[in-house]
């Protein structure tokens, strides 16, 4: 039986999910969030689906054992690979995932050209394939697997020459030719400025705000929202040992993603 006073578990393959965490805190400031980054096993985006399911399952199990009242999979890759399986395995636990924000992008730009940046695994999985199939009649959807990008961001790099070059290599060819960009990996909002420099000054869409609203809806429906007088908060942990990693997570949590 879940308890409204308990915390919400949030996880990602690494520190990318902190971009979602920021949306969660802003939508639900009275909640306690326990964020886990699996940076030791990152990136998930180059792994096989079974492997991603096993890693995600182990994290969810641990968060539930620790008393989480709900779990947010703050990772497009883990959501695409594992959310359905985990919901089957834990039918009584609210498990909220994140998916590439193709719907709001297409709705904002009907018949437009929409660039979707995500990991190779996300784009190859059926969940994304269905999403693209659904929306591609209403816009031109251009998926690009940005291999290597998560590795650089995991090092704490958000604006080096190397990262600029990598982004240029992946999406430079679309400069000034797309109407919107969907950031389909939760790491990418941290390098949005560089992506904008490369692709052009167009609207960006990510799944953070939608996921936060969905969490609010689900907690409300189950009577699990923290009381209004509760002091919310955030706690960080990582599979990568050492205080240095947690310092990096806190630094990313302090990055302003609104600009």
Output the residue with the shortest Cβ distance to ligand DGL.
Answer: 45
Given the residues 10, 28, 71, 75, the one annotated as active site: 75
Taking contact as CB under 6 A, which single stretch among the options 7-15, 160-168, 191-199, 247-255 is the one that binds ligand DGL?
7-15
Nearer to ligand DGL, 34 or 42 (CB): 42
Query: What is the Cβ-side half-sphere exposure of residue 60, based on CA atoms within 13 angstroms?
Result: 27
Under the binding rule (CB under 6 A), the answer on residue 96 touching ligand DGL is: no
DSSP code at position 172: G
Under the binding rule (CB under 6 A), the answer on residue 239 touching ligand DGL is: no
Under the binding rule (CB under 6 A), the answer on residue 143 touching ligand DGL is: no
Classify each residue of 16-52 as buried b or exposed e, where b means 16 or more C-beta atoms within 10 Å of its C-beta: bbbbbbbbbbebbeebbbbbbbbbebbbbbbbebeeb
- Smallest gap from Cβ 208 to ligand DGL, in A, equals 10
Taking contact as CB under 6 A, which single stretch among the options 36-44, 58-66, 105-113, 196-204 is the one that binds ligand DGL?
36-44
C-alpha to C-alpha distances, 175 to 36, 72, 179, 195, 201, nearest whole angstrom = 35, 34, 10, 10, 9
**23, 32, 39, 186: residue in contact with ligand DGL (rule CB under 6 A):** 186
Nearer to ligand DGL, 37 or 94 (CB): 37
Phi, psi of 223 (to 5 degrees): 65, 30
Helical (H) or strand (E) element with 9: strand 8-12
Alpha helices in the chain (DSSP H): 18-27, 49-65, 76-89, 102-108, 120-124, 126-135, 149-154, 161-171, 192-199, 208-221, 243-253
Taking contact as CB under 6 A, which single stretch among the options 1-9, 179-187, 197-205, 228-236 is the one that binds ligand DGL?
179-187
Nearer to ligand DGL, 77 or 238 (CB): 77
The answer to whether residue 75 is catalytic is: yes
- The DSSP result for 62-125, as a single string, is HHHHTT-SEEEE--HHHHHHHHHHHHHH-TTS-EE-----HHHHHHHSTT-EEEEEE-HHHHHS
* Beta strand 140-145 pairing with 70-73: unpaired
Under the binding rule (CB under 6 A), the answer on residue 180 touching ligand DGL is: no
Token pair for residue 114?
């929409």
Q: Where in 144-173 is the site for ligand DGL (CB under 6 A)?
A: 150
The answer to whether residue 146 is catalytic is: no
Instruction: Give how many residues touch ligand DGL by CB under 6 A.
Output: 17
**9, 13, 94, 212: residue in contact with ligand DGL (rule CB under 6 A):** 13
Under the binding rule (CB under 6 A), the answer on residue 63 touching ligand DGL is: no
Q: Which residues participate in catalysis according to the annotation?
A: 75, 185
Residues that bind ligand DGL (CB under 6 A): 12-14, 16, 42-45, 75-77, 119, 122, 150, 185-187
């Amino acid at each position: 039986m879940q308890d409204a006073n308990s915390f919400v578990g949030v996880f990602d393959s690494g520190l990318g999910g902190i971009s979602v965490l920021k949306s969660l805190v802003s939508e639900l400031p009275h909640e306690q969030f326990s964020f886990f980054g699996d940076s030791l096993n990152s990136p998930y985006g180059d792994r096989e689906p079974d492997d991603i399911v096993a890693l995600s399952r182990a994290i969810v199990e641990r968060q539930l054992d620790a008393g989480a009242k709900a779990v947010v999979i703050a990772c497009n890759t883990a959501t695409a690979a594992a959310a359905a399986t985990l919901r089957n395995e834990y039918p009584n636990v609210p498990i909220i995932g994140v998916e590439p924000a193709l719907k709001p992008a297409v709705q904002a730009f009907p018949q437009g050209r929409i660039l979707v940046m995500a990991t190779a695994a996300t784009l190859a999985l059926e969940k994304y394939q269905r999403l693209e199939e659904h929306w591609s009649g209403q816009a031109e959807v251009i998926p690009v697997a940005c291999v290597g990008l998560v590795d650089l961001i995991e090092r704490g790099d958000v604006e080096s020459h190397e990262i600029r070059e990598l982004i240029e290599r992946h999406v430079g060819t679309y400069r000034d030719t797309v109407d919107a960009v969907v950031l389909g990996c939760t790491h990418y909002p941290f390098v949005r400025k560089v992506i904008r420099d490369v692709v052009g000054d167009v609207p960006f869409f990510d799944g953070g705000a939608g996921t936060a609203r969905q969490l609010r809806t689900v907690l409300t429906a189950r009577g699990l929202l923290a009381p209004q007088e509760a002091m919310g908060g955030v706690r960080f942990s990582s599979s990568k040992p050492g205080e240095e990693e947690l310092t990096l997570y806190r630094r990313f949590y302090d990055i302003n993603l609104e600009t």
